[in-house]
Amino acid sequence: MAEYVEAGHAVNQASLSGIVGSAPPVAQNVTYERILQARSEPQNWLTYYGAYDGQRYSPLDQINTENVKQLAPAWVFQSGSVGLHAGPSTYSFEAAPIVVDGVMYVAGWDGWVWALDARTGQELWRYKHAIPYDTSLCCGNVNRGVAVAKGKVFVVTLNAHVIALDAETGERVWDSTYGDVRAGESATLAPLVVKNLVIVGSSGGEFGVRGHLDAFDLDTGRHVWRTYTVPKPGEPGSETWPAEGKAWERGGGNCWVTGTYDPELNLMYWGTGNPSPDFDGGVREGDNLYTDSVIAVNPDNGEIRWHYQYNPHDLWDYDSTMENILFDLDGRKLLAHFNKNGYFFVLDRTNGELVRVAPFVDRITWGEIDANGKVTPEVYPKNEGEPVKFWPGPAGGKEWTHAAYSPRTQLFYVPVQDVGAEVTLRRREFRESIPYWGAAVVVDSEEMAGSVSAFDPSTGEEVWRWRNDLPMCASVLATGGDLVFAGEPTGEFNAFNDRTGELLWQFQTGSGHHSSPTTYSVDGRQYIAVPVGWGAWVEGFLPGMLGAPSGSALVVFALPES
Amino acid sequence: MATATEDLSAMVREIGLDRQNKATLGRLLAHGPLRRAEEGPDGRMRARVRIPPDELIWDPSILVLPHAGDLDVELVNDDENTHCALLPSNGDEQFIWLPNHSRGTASLNLDGPGYYWFSSPIGNDEGRGLIGAIVVLGDVPKGARLDRPPQPQP
């Protein structure tokens, strides 16, 4: 037998592409102090929401109501999907692109991270984390983005690691495991950098895990603190769980969406997810703290300073992980939150006191919340095998995708979903790693509606509405050009007049939107960046579009260069 | 007709799902041999994976690692056609051409329990059977697990 031909050693797949291999050292001096003042450098989008307050507002005004009709694609980045990956039918491009001085950092599905030239779209480096094909994913193969600080890019992986990459090369600097994939835990959110910490939450509320927030040292990856969002017996809040039994051990309450932060109060505001099992309240009598709440957390030690529970004893899968947007009104430090339950809450963010609550979606039949915040459930899964129909369905009047707030108009802009569901209580025994819903669920595929709606937080009243035949399932972006941007499930990317709701511009991107657009400028030219790629938990938030085209493009728009 | 799990191998053989161009056009995925990787004294693992002639299958099709970590793989193509390998690893997927009767190597890092796919992304090698699984046994580090008593398992 002849000697074998020498085939050599396997190489990085990226080396067989046009990749540059490195990025300029722009992230080296992204400090906590710069992130604190993020809005003072509007050419950049330095943190997940653009700034710690979560407003998703940029003062950039080159693109405005007068010239937005000229907006056109400047470049497109595409990765595609190669081979098999976890949840192959459910991948979706959900990130909010981060931009630092001309370099864009963005995460994709299944462990991808890319650094791109923000002016041309050229791929500078890539990182790929190997994700087990059998990872438990309740809601699709997704990731919502990265954080950048001190020369590193931070990202979580679906198999519940948080990793730091060298921002110049994409090489892994540190890697810490913070969740148990055998228990059904995963991770999907964009990390939050506060001071010298990287703070992350876990996913897995549909598998009966116990939610937690974790903080890691930014430089070394050392674990600094963990805070559980479901207390053990004897801890504060444990009186809201059955005294006997194991409900707290599987109580859910995951923080799977990035929190906001008030540096003056030194408080982070994290939303928590549904209790487990989602629909079977009989095995977890009580309010089930701190599920479906906003928790105000001291970033230095993870202490929960106060909480407000939006859905005591949730029976509808009304996660409350969605953003808590910080704003000031009449000298008060407030936060605003649009809950899955269809109500818009304004709280005093110093102490959690309710200031105002008002409905923001047309059909709310699960129950009622009065002006004092008193919750009265009316329609919920009660008897084994008996179907009940309620609005909003489990995806909520607004999903995880984010609202925006413009300090120019002092209005909130909200992606609204008006979709019902039929839920039938089906009690089941808990088994670790197996979905633990306690019900059969069918979300409506007909008689749906949606809108981008503007709300005045001083009254709770709707100011305008742009109505759509389908629910709106993507984050909204507000800019200093008096514009509001929002994508549709059918692929259109829209610009609205932020004072009237008039549709001013539209571009068909070819696949549905379920991401968070951002804006930035390079060399004085403003860009709007939107990841596009329909997928994820479509069966839950819009099953009527389960057959819509998939995709995985990052489309970046700008005005023509004169 | 339903079959019990213990009869599965016999049924697969009887129907011809474990051969090329018998029941199906190719060979059902991951229906080749299963082997364990060897572990060195430093915890680094190694394995040999070959492509036998005319089977369009990895041998082993299922490679079992005792735990997460680093794996050195020797890849051998004993077939009379050109193939390649695309393998999972943290950092980037690893690619190597495997011409007829060739031998190469790859170094992989896999950091947690579960199973990962590898393949030969050329022609329709993947559809014909050249997709394999690397199974990583073990648990996540103790510090990453939930603070709760042991739970009932499926």
Mutate to test the interface with B, among A1, A3, A5, A141 (most CBs of B within 10 A): A5
What integer best gives the mean pLDDT of chain A? 97
Query: Residue A83: what pLDDT?
Result: 86
* Option in A2, A182, A430 nearest B101 (CB): A2
> Pick from A370, A409, A291: which is nearest to A55 by CA?
A409
CA dihedral A308, A189, B117, A550 (to 10 degrees): 100
Residue A475 near residue A96 (C-beta atoms within 8 A):
yes
- A373: nearest Cα among A401, A405, A348: A348
End-to-end CA distance of chain B: 25
Buried-exposed string B105-140: b where 16+ CB fall within 10 A, e elsewhere: bbebbbbbbbbbbbbbbbeebbebbbbbbbbbeeeb
Q: Which residues of B touch A108 (CB under 8 A)?
A: none
Per residue in A491-520, pLDDT (tens digit) is: 999 999 999 999 999 999 999 999 999 999
DSSP E strands: which ranges in A363-512? 367-369, 375-377, 387-390, 404-406, 411-418, 421-425, 439-443, 449-456, 461-468, 477-479, 483-487, 492-497, 503-508
Residues in chain A within 8 Å Cβ distance of B98: 7
Whether the per-residue pLDDT at A217 is higher than 60: the answer is yes
Superfamily of domain A13-558: Quinoprotein alcohol dehydrogenase-like superfamily (2.140.10.10)
A179-189 pLDDT tens trace: 999 999 999 99
Q: How far apart are CA B111 and CA A132, in angstroms?
A: 9
SS3 B144: helix
Question: How close, in Å, is residue B12 to chain A by CA atoms?
Answer: 23
Which residue out of B111, B122, B124, B147 would a mutagenesis test of the A interface target, given it has the greatest number of A Cβ atoms within 10 Å?
Answer: B111
Residue A498 CA to residue A482 CA, distance in Å, equals 5
How far is residue A160's CA from residue A185's CA, in Å, rounded to a whole number?
A: 7
Residue of A nearest to B119 (CA): A83
Choose the closest CB to B104 out of A10, A177, A182.
A10
Measured between CA atoms, how close is A548 to chain B, in angstroms? 25
The helix/strand/coil state of A454 is strand
Q: Find the closest chain A residue to B149 by CA distance.
A: A249
Structure tokens at A21: 């291999």
Closest Cβ–Cβ partner in B90, B104, B117 for A133: B117
Contact A126 B92 (CB under 8 A): yes
Question: Which residue numbers of A are catalytic?
Answer: 317
Kindly identify which residue of chain A lies nearest to residue B102, measuring between CA atoms: A5
Q: How many CB atoms lie within 10 A of CB A94?
A: 28
3-class secondary structure, B84: strand
Residue A557 has pLDDT above 60, yes or no: yes
| Residues of B in Cβ contact (< 8 Å) with A158 | none
Cβ contact A159–B112 (<8 Å): yes
- SS3 state at A296: strand
Decide: helix, strand or coil at residue A553: strand
Full strand arrangement of the beta sheet holding A304-309: A260-262, A267-271, A293-297, A304-309
Phi, then psi, of A120 in degrees rounded to 5? -115, -20
Chain A neighbors of B105, CB-CB under 8 A? 8-10
Chain B nearest-CA residue for A222: B143
CB contact under 8 A, B91 and A172: yes
Residue pair B112/B85 in contact (Cβ under 8 Å)? The answer is no
In this structure, of A107-111, A548-552, B92-96, B146-150, the range with the lowest mean pLDDT score is A548-552
Q: How many angstroms away from the CA of A111 is the closest CA of chain B? A: 9
Question: Do the chains contact at B149 and A228, CB–CB below 8 Å?
Answer: no
- Looking at CA atoms only, how far is residue A174 from chain B in angstroms? 12
Write down the pLDDT at residue B77.
98
Chain A / chain B CB contacts < 8 angstroms:
164
Kindly tell me the sign of the dihedral angle through the C-alpha atoms of B18, B20, B24, B28.
Answer: positive
In this complex, the residue of B87, B101, B152 whose CB is nearest that of residue A10 is B87
Counting beta carbons within 10 angstroms of the beta carbon of residue A426, is it exposed (0 to 12), middle (13 to 18) or buried (19 or more)?
Answer: middle
Supply the pLDDT for residue B1.
Answer: 47
Beta carbons of B103 and A4 less than 8 Å apart: yes
> Which of A427, A558, A497, A552 has its CA nearest to residue A141?
A552
Residue contact A128–B90, C-beta within 8 A: yes
Contact A83 B153 (CB under 8 A): no
In chain B, what residues touch A128 (CB-CB under 8 Å)? 90-93
List, for residues A229-274, the tens digit of each pLDDT value: 999 999 999 999 999 989 999 999 999 999 999 999 999 999 999 9
Give CA angle at A350 (A345, A351), nearest 5°: 75
What ipTM was reported for this prediction?
A: 0.95
Q: What is the pLDDT of residues A80-105, one digit of tens each?
A: 888 899 998 899 999 999 999 999 99
Name the token pair of A106.
């963005």
Mean pLDDT calculated for residue range A180-207? 98
CA dist A200 and A188 (Å) reads: 9
Q: What is the SS3 string spanning A131-191?
A: CCCCCCCCCCCCCCCCEEECCEEEEECCCCEEEEEECCCCCEEEEEECCCHHHCCECCCCC
pLDDT score of A255? 98
Contact (CB<8Å) A130/B116: yes
Task: Please report, for chain B, the start and end positions of each structural domain, with discontinuous segments joined by +.
Answer: 32-138
Q: Tell me how far apart the alpha carbons of residues A93 and A202 are, in angstroms, rounded to a whole number.
A: 19
What CA–CA distance (Å, rounded) separates A375 from A314? 11
Each residue's pLDDT, cut to its tens digit, for chain B (154 residues) gives: 455 566 888 999 999 999 999 999 999 888 889 999 999 999 999 999 999 999 999 999 999 999 999 999 999 999 999 999 999 999 999 999 999 999 999 999 999 999 999 999 999 999 999 999 999 999 999 999 999 999 999 9
CA atoms within 13 A on the CB side of A185: 31
3-state SS, residue A544? helix
Flag if A129 and B106 touch (Cβ within 8 Å): no
Dihedral Cα A491, A497, A499, A500, nearest 10 deg: -80
Q: Determine whether the interchain pair A180/B140 forms a contact, defined as Cβ–Cβ distance below 8 Å.
A: yes
Are the Cβ atoms of A210 and B104 closer than 8 angstroms?
A: no
CATH class of B32-138: mainly beta
Beta strand ranges found along A253-353 (DSSP E): 260-262, 267-271, 293-297, 304-309, 325-329, 332-338, 343-348
- Of the residues B64, B71, B92, the best mutation for testing chain A's interface (the one with the most A CB atoms within 10 Å of its CB) is B92
Q: Could you tell me if A46 and A35 are in contact, meaning their C-beta atoms sit under 8 angstroms apart?
A: yes
Determine the residue among A84, A123, A131, A230 to mutate to test chain B binding: the one whose Cβ has the most chain B Cβ atoms within 10 Å.
A84
Query: Which residues on neighbouring strands pair with residue A262, listed in sequence order?
Result: A267
Element containing residue A520 per DSSP (H, E): strand A518-522
Residue A2 has pLDDT above 90, yes or no: no
Residue A396 has pLDDT above 50, yes or no: yes
Distance CA A355, CA A308 (A): 12
- Length of chain A, please? 562
Pick among A123, A131, A175, A200 to test the B interface (most B CBs inside 10 A)? A131
As given in the structure block, the two tokens for residue A341 are 């339950």
Q: What is the 8-class DSSP label of residue B57?
A: -
Question: How many CB atoms sit inside 10 A of residue B91's CB?
Answer: 18
Contact B107 A9 (CB under 8 A): yes
* Cβ A256 vs Cβ A238: under 8 Å: no
Cβ pair A132:B116 closer than 8 A: yes
CB atoms within 10 A of CB A371: 10
- How many angstroms separate the Cα of A278 from the Cα of each of A319, A440, B128, B147? 9, 11, 42, 21
- Counted residue by residue, chain B has a size of 154
Alpha carbon separation from A418 to A141, A297, A390 (Å, rounded): 25, 32, 11
Task: Give phi and psi for A157, each to the nearest 5.
Answer: -115, 160
Cβ-Cβ contacts under 8 Å, A181 against chain B: 112-114, 140
